Amino acid sequence: MNPNSSILSPAQVSEFLRQIVVTRDHEVDCGTCIEHIGEFAEKRLAGADLNTVLASIEHHLSLCPECTEEYEALKKILETESVKQ
């Protein structure tokens, strides 16, 4: 095993510290995020204000690359649909 394999890169350390700084006392989990992501994407595209639950979803997306990937895919679908109409 490479003794340096457990050393984090500067980018990894920076991302880890960013996530610590933005972490809140109450966080939304991925299941809750996915449950509300459709509503979040629709309201975000419409430019509507986000209520407390949806603001928590936005915060979760800033921390979770997996849910962000899901959101980005959904957003592209919704954007495509709005162009067709």
Dump pLDDT digits (tens) for 18-77. 888 877 777 889 999 999 999 999 988 888 888 877 889 999 999 999 999 999 999 999
Residues 75, 40: contact at Cβ < 8 Å?
no
Q: Is residue 4 part of a domain?
A: no
**N residues, the chain:** 85
Give the structural domain span for 64.
10-84
Enter the pTM of the model. 0.61
Looking at the 3D structure of the chain, how many domains does it have? 1
What distance in Å separates the CA atoms of residue 60 and residue 58, rounded to the nearest whole number? 5
How far is residue 4's CA from residue 43's CA, in Å, rounded to a whole number? 46
| Of 64, 67, 69, 71, nearest in space to 18 by CA | 64
The pLDDT of residue 80 is 86
Would 3 be classed as within a structural domain?
no
Structural domain contains residue 5:
no
